[in-house]
Chains A and B, each alone.
Chain A
Amino acid sequence: MLLRNKIGGEKLLSIWWLFTIAIVGTGIVFGVSMFYSAEIDVRGVEAEILSNKILDCFFEQGILISNLLENDFDIFQECKLNKKVIESAFYFNVSILDESGEVMKEIEEGVLTNACNLKNTEGCVSKERSIFYEEENEIRKWRLEILTASNQVGEEISLVQ
């Protein structure tokens, strides 16, 4: 709607125009700044890669590696994972359960965030695998459950560093 002045001309350059344009400008600047300063979230992808990497190193041609159930099994060395980085910014929990659901082996490292309380939320990946093996002429079926999460946030480096 246009305002008219005393002689009936259209008053385009009014305080309302300035007000509108200030609001539009502020909104766009704020929105664009927010959008481009936000972290690009790749935590879900990282968690997926981590779970695949762990599963890959647990199985050799589809067979569970023999030393996995041993007490001195070092997941960081076996799966080529960096302990410091995992403990500071990632989380994983691997459980091997027998037919009755009893946990035969559990490996847990890193810090679990609230985001993973609901499995498969952003930054968390949960998977399950069946393990078949033969014992005393009987085929037994165990289960492997894995939950991985990434809590990593990137870092802008300041010039002072």
Chain B
Amino acid sequence: MGVFLRNKKGSEIILPPMMFIILNLVFFGILLLFVIKASTGALVYEQVYAKQVALLIDEAKSDMQILVDFEEGVKVAEKNKKTSDLIRVDNKTNQVIVNLGSKGGYSYKYFSDYEVNVYDHVEENLIIINIGDKVWPDVIRPVDFDKEFSDEELEKAMNFAKSNSIEGRTCFCEKDCDSYVKWISESSKEYNVNSLLILAVMMQESNCKSTLVSSASAKGLMQLMDETANEMGVKNSFDPEENIMGGTKYLRWLLDKYNNDFSLVLAGYNAGPTNVDKYGGVPPFSETQNYVKEVTKRYALLGDVLNVA
């Protein structure tokens, strides 16, 4: 073989040209890696997003909502194993602070004197900027399903739901609304399920109509199928109290099954746990995907109503 030389003992050594090529490749490989690492570093993206958001706030007028594509930022943060608090504003110092996993992040100031709220919505790859005090009906923001609500808060939310369309649903309960609030509160305590979530699901399922029967024969306020109603111990699905209790018990069962993953819980409520297990997540049915989004959004909006009421 021409490419190898032999030393005195007869073992093969690599010829200099071969070494030359290998060392060159290693050298340029290292350089390439360095350039890629430098150009995709967290600090570069932190600076870009902090300045972009600060400029948008400066240019905005009061009562505006701005959505910014945050896909690259989320990717960089994921690489650095950072999943929350990627961006925030300090209204006292007028600073936008972005932290995608570098040491402490990057901050940049805006000069507008508005009340500003900025959220990162990692699931939707968005930054949401709200300027001024206006409450946005279509706001998307991180949802805290672990928050607890008092009976008074639930009542306020129900009063709002009676007279407003929230994500296309209204509570048509009229005289019975107070009773529904009472039963939602009781079932929430009985099964340790968030009361506002029960209301959000109830609105999605039936617009709070206790006599509703769907084309698939789901019945009542929480739209229970006969089989599910039996399993949950519901004898009469048209009895509002029983129906709410049964629906809440079913939500509890799903919460335990899916380890409090609310997307899977809601998907399971709509498409059935068999489909969720089959697809290993939210099933690829547009109805179910919309269901999860709408209930989540409605829950967030009901929470907003309480914050401003």
Contacts and interface: CB of A to CB of B under 8 A. Distances in A.
Contact of B58 (A10, A32, A49): A49
B43 interface: yes
A152 B108 contact: yes
Contacts of A6: none
A17 interface: yes
B16 A13 contact: yes
Contacts of B105: 156-157
A33 B47 CA distance: 15
B110 to A, nearest CB: 7
Given A36-B39, A80-B113, A155 B107 contact: yes
Contacts of B143: none
Interface stretch (A58-66, A84-92, A118-126, A132-140): A84-92
Given A21-B27, A156-B104, A82 B112 contact: yes
Nearest to A90: B111
Interface in A33-55: 33, 36, 39-40, 42, 45-46, 49-50, 53
Contacts of A12: 16-17, 19-20
B48 interface: yes
A23 interface: no
Q: What's the interface size class on B, roughly?
A: 35 or more
Interface string B34-45: 110011010110
Contacts of B299: none
Given A13-B16, A89-B109, A158 B58 contact: no
Nearest to A152: B109
B106 interface: yes
A117 B65 CA distance: 37
Contacts of A154: 47, 50-51, 106-108
A39 B69 CA distance: 22
A1 interface: no
A9 B62 CA distance: 77
Query: Quick one: which of B43, B104, B106 has the most chain A CB within 10 A?
Result: B104
Query: Quick one: which of A83, A152, A154 has the most chain B CB within 10 A?
Result: A154
Contacts of A21: 24, 27
B114 interface: yes
Contact of B19 (A13, A42, A158): A13
Interface in A1-43: 9-13, 17, 21, 25, 28-29, 32-33, 36, 39-40, 42
A46 B58 contact: yes
A51 to B, nearest CB: 11
A29 B34 contact: yes
B89 interface: no
A85 B91 CA distance: 12
A130 B41 CA distance: 48
Contacts of B35: 28, 32
Nearest to A86: B111
A33 B20 contact: no
Interface of A: 9-13, 17, 21, 25, 28-29, 32-33, 36, 39-40, 42, 45-46, 49-50, 53, 76, 80-86, 89-90, 152, 154-159, 161
Interface of B: 16-17, 19-20, 23-24, 27, 31, 34-35, 38-39, 41, 43-44, 47-48, 50-51, 55, 58-59, 62, 93-94, 97, 99, 102-114
